[in-house]
Amino acid sequence: MRSMVPDYLADALADVEPDTSGALADYIPELAAADPGRLGAAFATVDGEVYGAGDVDVELTIQSISKPFAYALALADRGFDAVLAKVGVEPSGEAFNEISLEPATGRPRNPMINAGAITTHALAGVAGLGPAGRVERVLDGLSAFAGRRLRVDEGVCASELEHAHRNLAIGHLLRSHGVLTEDPDAVVEGYTRQCSVLVTTRDLALMAATLANRGVNPRTGERVVPEPVVRQVLSVMATCGMYDAAGDWATQVGIPAKSGVAGGLIGALPGQIGIATFSPRLDQHGNSVRGVSLFGRFSADMGLHVMEVPPPALGVVRAHTVVGSGAEAVRVVQLQGGLGFAALERVVREVAATDMPETTVALDLSTVYSVDDVARRMLLEVVRRLTLDGHDVHLVDPEVLVPAPDPGDGGRVTVVGSVDDVLAARRHRAAESGAVR
């Protein structure tokens, strides 16, 4: 069978292709010379599969899509406190090149607007690194997110630098507030080099997938940034990634995202996929027109909105039975699905409400596929309380979802591979004690 995913992507591109509204960014002459007809889309899964259609191997400059990644590097290199002291996390609701500094402190409101991104660039790498070392650090970091060595488009960089008056002004303003503590021209030049890094739509999808995969590049296996950094970056993308269109985007598309003026757009859906599109014509907010349409369609077609309500945990107790009779009887509570707080609360409620005359209780995880930390702790507390109530508790855990379970004070648990093992052990014990036959 041939996968339907590339066909789906090709269909989606064909649907948006006729829309030639919007305009190329013209404040950077090199970008104004781009081919406006380019169109591509790619999905990268968290296990490294990449699907693409259209111009997915054509290079474009990353532009503002570099901002969340440079922010991630700064957080990883300098720590949260040092970065938060210099750049806030409040949506400005303003355009990308708005000054948006907090009146009292001069701190940029968030790292997705230029003022914040210029500051963030200065925070990449260890303290004291010069401008060249910082650019190297950012290039290395962006390359690690993409899983291949990236390079700067010198033509676009020079073209933007010639017209970087506004960013230079922002840089000097930041310097005057003491947010930047060094030569602002060098920082703006470094930031411009960061924006001029060449990527393909495929690269962008993998970079987004690295965020979706908790900071580990799904292709190379490299941990690029720690998990708490990813959570911070995705949160800021969700609230500030689409500039003054952030609210529309959050309600209609609902995928943490970032756009760039060269026409790229990425979205990272935690635990699922990284998505990237490329189409250079921009709307009045500076976001790719066809990219925004494609993301709207992807989100609706595939239920990718992060606020899409997951199926309720009601079915977590798959079966609740008593196997065997008399002294051999075993109470089996078979759980299913992915276990989190809501699921475990159902289990706790059901176990608490059940009168259990049987000594042996088996909590069967053989049709469970994941147990998160709070579910694990609640499950072990169920074990402990059942032990204290006089039960002999078994955990059927063939996939070792709860390694080395320790129910703590007064709790005891026997781990087995199947319910049959519990029954065999029970029969053995019953025979030994002479309770039966």
Going by the annotation, the residues of the binding site for substrate are 64, 114, 160, 167, 191, 243, 261
Instruction: Tell which residue, 85, 10, 19, 62, has the closest CA to residue 40.
Output: 10
Q: 159 or 334: whose CB is closer to ligand GLU?
A: 159
In the complex, the smallest distance separating the C-beta of residue 47 from ligand GLU, rounded to whole angstroms, is 30
- Interaction of residue 100 with ligand GLU, rule CB under 6 A: no
Q: Name which position in 261, 344, 351, 396 contacts ligand GLU (CB under 6 A).
A: 261
Taking CB under 6 A as the rule, which mask of x and - marks residues 103-132 in contact with ligand GLU?
-----------x------------------
CA 92 to each of CA 96, 142, 245, 360: distance values in angstroms, whole numbers, following the listed order:
9, 25, 11, 59
**Ranges within 265-324 binding ligand GLU (CB under 6 A):** 286
Residue nearest to ligand GLU (CB): 64
243 flagged as catalytic: yes
- Interaction of residue 249 with ligand GLU, rule CB under 6 A: no
Sign of CA dihedral 371, 372, 375, 380: positive
In the complex, the smallest distance separating the C-beta of residue 168 from ligand GLU, rounded to whole angstroms, is 11
Residue numbering of the annotated binding site: 64, 114, 160, 167, 191, 243, 261
370 flagged as catalytic: no
CA–CA–CA angle 96, 179, 106 (5° rounding): 65
CA distance 97 to 244: 11
Q: For residue 73, which phi and psi values (nearest 5 degrees)? A: -65, -40
261 flagged as catalytic: yes
- Interaction of residue 241 with ligand GLU, rule CB under 6 A: no
Strands 273-278 and 330-339: unpaired
191 flagged as catalytic: yes
Residue 339 backbone class (left: φ over 0; alpha: ψ -120 to 50; beta: rest):
beta
- Interaction of residue 64 with ligand GLU, rule CB under 6 A: yes
Lookup result for tokens 């997938």: 209
Structure-block tokens of residue 378: 């609640």
Q: Which of 8, 51, 71, 243 is labelled catalytic?
A: 243
Decide: helix, strand or coil at residue 173.
helix
Residues within the interface to ligand GLU (CB under 6 A): 63-64, 96-97, 114, 160, 167, 195, 260-261, 286
Q: Annotated catalytic sites, by residue?
A: 64, 67, 191, 243, 261
